[in-house]
Amino acid sequence: MLFIIINYFNETEVSNFVVTHFGNGNNHDAEIVIVNNGCHQISILDSLSQKFSFVTILSAEKNLGYFGAANFGLMHYLKSNELADATIICNTDIAFAKDSFFGSLKNILSTKEFDVLGPDIYSTFLKYHQNPYITKRLSRGIIKRYKFFTSNVFLYALFTILHLIKTKIIRSKMQAKKNQPLTTYAVHGSFMVFNKSYFTKGGTLHYPSFLFGEEIFVAETALKLNMKVLYEPSLVVNHFQNTTTGTFKSAQTVKFMHQSYCYLLNTYFV
């Protein structure tokens, strides 16, 4: 089982995540690749790799973005290793709700058919469940709407406020936990499990856009290659989001979002 983690100026959080969930030796068959995404001071990460033999630190020469860094880490891993049974890309602002999480995941890998899997992810900030992230394929009109609201930082701020009102105050039915596994369109990017089959069937982490829209990219890849995307509620992750990027985005970040929606619209929703 391979975990790919991206460090972007959050070395302490990354280190605490690894020590908390892997430092006790119970998950000795897991391998961790941490991609340092352009940070120059990584002494904490270096000490982590010296302490744990299953941790590899890679440094990109520049910020490669989320999936760009993940793909960089996977390609480096595959130079000297075969594909893992599962490749997991995850944030480090998360915690596993049960000590049995890894045992349950291994059991699911051996008993259920899927190419991409997402657990139940509970946002402690928004107070709702983020998976299944998108149950049905989005329309071209919705992607065009996202493109419009990311065309400048003020429009996106308005969009964010409206979204927070909807999810935090109105508390729609979409926020309730779904207790049965189900096939879905997309799962949340904070914890994505890629079965070995995702790659052997032709799937990739090579997402041409810099940031944002990775979930839709994976969903469209799965749709094109007739893959199964599964939501699995027996696996529970708590997500302490917004610790790195914040709720309201900078003008540069909104620009990256806009570029991604332009790419998705022109590539998959023509």
Question: Stretch 122-147: mean pLDDT, rounded?
Answer: 93
Instruction: Kindly report the pTM of this predicted structure.
Output: 0.92
173 pLDDT higher than 90: no
Residues 211, 266: Cα–Cα separation, whole Å: 16
Per-residue burial over 33-65, b = 16 or more CB atoms within 10 Å of its CB, e = otherwise: bbbbbeeeebeebeebbeeeebbebbebeebbb
Is the Cα dihedral 208, 214, 217, 221 positive or negative?
positive
Of the two residues 14 and 169, the one the predictor is more confident about is: 14
Percent of the chain surpassing pLDDT 70: 93
Question: Stretch 251-270: mean pLDDT, rounded?
Answer: 95
Residues 74, 137: Cα–Cα separation, whole Å: 27
Q: How would DSSP label each residue in the chain?
A: -EEEEEESS-HHHHHHHHHHHHTTSTTTT-EEEEEEES-S--HHHHHHHHH-TTEEEEEESS---HHHHHHHHHHHHHTTSPPPSEEEEE-SSEEESSTTHHHHHHHHHHHS--SEEEEEEEETTTTEE--SSBSSPPPHHHHHHHHHHTSSHHHHHHHHHHHHIIIIII--GGGSPP-S-EE-SB--TTEEEEEHHHHHTT-----SSSSS-HHHHHHHHHHHTT--EEEEEEEEEEE--SSSS-SSPPHHHHHHHHHHHHHHHHHH--
pLDDT digits (tens, 9 = 90+) for 105-127: 999 999 999 999 999 999 988 78
Q: Determine the pLDDT at residue 118.
A: 98
244 pLDDT higher than 50: no
Question: Stretch 148-174: mean pLDDT, rounded?
Answer: 77
Structure tokens at 21: 């969930």
Q: What average pLDDT is seen over the chain?
A: 91
Residues 58, 63: Cα–Cα separation, whole Å: 12
pLDDT digits (tens, 9 = 90+) for 89-104: 999 999 999 889 999 9
Nearest to 56 by CA among 9, 16, 102, 18: 18
Question: Stretch 10-18: mean pLDDT, rounded?
Answer: 94
Residues 134, 79: Cα–Cα separation, whole Å: 34
Where do the domains of the chain lie?
A: 1-84, 95-270
